[in-house]
Chain A
Amino acid sequence: MRWLLRLAILVAVVWAVVGADPAFALDRNFAGSAQVDYHFVPTAPGANARREGFDGVTIEAALKVAVDFSDHFSANVKVCFGCHGFETDMAYFDYRVADELAVRFGRFSPSFGAFNLRHDPANHRLSDKPLPYDMGRMLRLRSWNMGVLPSPFPDNGVEVSGKLALGEGAWLDYAAHAVSGFKGDRLAGDLDWRASRDGSLYYVDNNARPAVGGRVAFTADLGTQTDVTIGSSVMHGTFDPDNDHAYTIAGADASLRIHRTYVRLEYLARRQDVDVSDPLRFRYAVVPNGDFTMKHGAYAEVEQALSSTVDLIVRADGMMRVGNVLALPAGTPIPAEGELSSRSLVGRLTLGAAFSIERSLRVKVSSELWEFSDRNADGQLTAVSFHLGAVGTF
């Protein structure tokens, strides 16, 4: 059946691009991007690939078509190919009643946080995402189960949003959504990010209860060359088929632009219910109120344009996970990337640069210094890695 879904999406894209009746489709815009990246981890022992992460070459590619039917009505379809294979990242309609009220329905990434707006690799200057939003490029990605909220996070549902002017040079953006929500097995101990976005399940929810959330952001111009945005986001839902276990993700963000310098700060945290009905499944004794885990993540980033050709980026990011850990089955060797403890931390310092070769072509280079609170199978607490990537967009 998956081929049927893919065929339907392909037909929709082709129809939107070339087949629609001009009388009904005002404007169509076709866009896309592709990034190829080489991730080199010299501190990984031996030559075995993927001991701790996706070292080697990866690619992310996307094609998108936007159709403006009228001033009030538009459609977007985006398909992408990356580490998870071929997926539908967007397939939604927007109906804008007024500046203050718009309705989006279909498949889309709900408004949450500041980074997700720039999640496409063509839109951010480093090869990888901040750790709280990591979706597989981080070292020890399996034990950490990636970020707090791997980005993008497309889901099916509806979102109401709007923009409220607060005088000259200041406005408030709001958004509220109801979507399927993330998925997970009751006994898994964490969300299943692959199942949450896997097209092989026909993008059908695993329970009947929608997840809800929203975002509020205040933006103000502080002069012709300076502006600031402060935002807050939240989402909440159940992830198991029986609606017994919930997750709540909350975050705050601030971004400041001063001439050609961007400063971005963001923090998010996820509270995750854990089924503790069988205490023997866990590595540590189950304590009262020990039926949940907390995962915190934050990043601070400075992006400085040195010229029209070169951007310099410095980023510090990290995550902390607090809570019990599922025990390895008896006789199972410790994985190469080690195990998490009841309070695990990872920190990373990144220095990178992006070179604009052409307006549509950028080369990205970056170096990363990692520090972990838990040792891997080889006893290491630190690691160094390098990215070399190229991204094209149209």
Chain B
Amino acid sequence: MVVRYVSVRALLGAVLVVIVAAACSGARREGAAPPGLPAELRPNWDLFARRCSKCHSLARPLDSGIDDDEHWRAYVRRMRLTPGSGISLADEAQILEFLRYYAAEQRRKKGKEIDAGAEVPSGTGTEKDGGAP
């Protein structure tokens, strides 16, 4: 029993060290907007965070590796139509504005060729998909 208590206390201590270290680091956080997000897209981010975190971690979409606007359009539409998602048609358009910016940033980071339309942070769509449905 004593050994068990000691091992648990050691485990708790180790975790606290990790947490404190993380709190002092500049790591990406679940609830934090992406660095460099244009101010005009802040409301879109807020809506994205609010709606999507109802069911799942924001890491799921943001770390999905998706950097294609058409893929995001299908993805968000599928999410909107998930029973209980709480995402309206108007939300879908606003969320896609943020995700298109995010996708463009992902492409830029990967060194991919960016189409001019997707580079505009406040853009509402690309020629490829003709805008949000």
Contacts and interface: CB of A to CB of B under 8 A. Distances in A.
Interface residues on B, range: 35 or more
A interface secondary structure, majority: strand
Interface stretch (A270-278, A321-329, A360-368): A360-368
Interface in B48-62: 50, 54-60, 62
B84 A117 contact: yes
A357 B78 contact: no
Contacts of B42: none
Indicate the size class of the contact surface on chain A: 35 or more
Query: Interface centre among B4, B18, B60, by most A CB within 10 Å?
Result: B60
Given A122-B56, A356-B29, A363-B18, A309 B74 contact: no
A16 interface: no
A352 to B, nearest CB: 13
Nearest to A70: B74
A165 B12 CA distance: 48
Nearest to A64: B60
Interface string B99-114: 0000000000000000
Given A171-B88, A362-B30, A161 B83 contact: yes
Interface in B15-44: 15, 18-19, 22-23, 27-32
Interface stretch (A23-31, A79-87, A143-151): A23-31
Interface string B67-79: 0101100110110
Given A29-B66, A38-B8, A122-B60, 11 more contacts: A27-B66, A29-B71, A71-B74, A111-B83, A114-B84, A120-B56, A163-B81, A359-B29, A360-B57, A363-B19, A388-B15
18 contacts: A26-B71, A26-B74, A29-B71, A42-B5, A68-B78, A71-B77, A94-B78, A111-B83, A118-B55, A118-B56, A217-B83, A219-B86, A231-B84, A309-B23, A309-B30, A358-B28, A359-B28, A393-B60
Interface of A: 26-27, 29, 31, 38, 40, 42, 47, 66, 68, 70-71, 74, 94, 96, 99, 102, 111, 114, 117-118, 120, 122-123, 161, 163, 165, 168-169, 171, 173-175, 215, 217, 219, 225, 227, 229, 231, 257, 305, 307-309, 355-360, 362-363, 365, 386, 388, 393-394
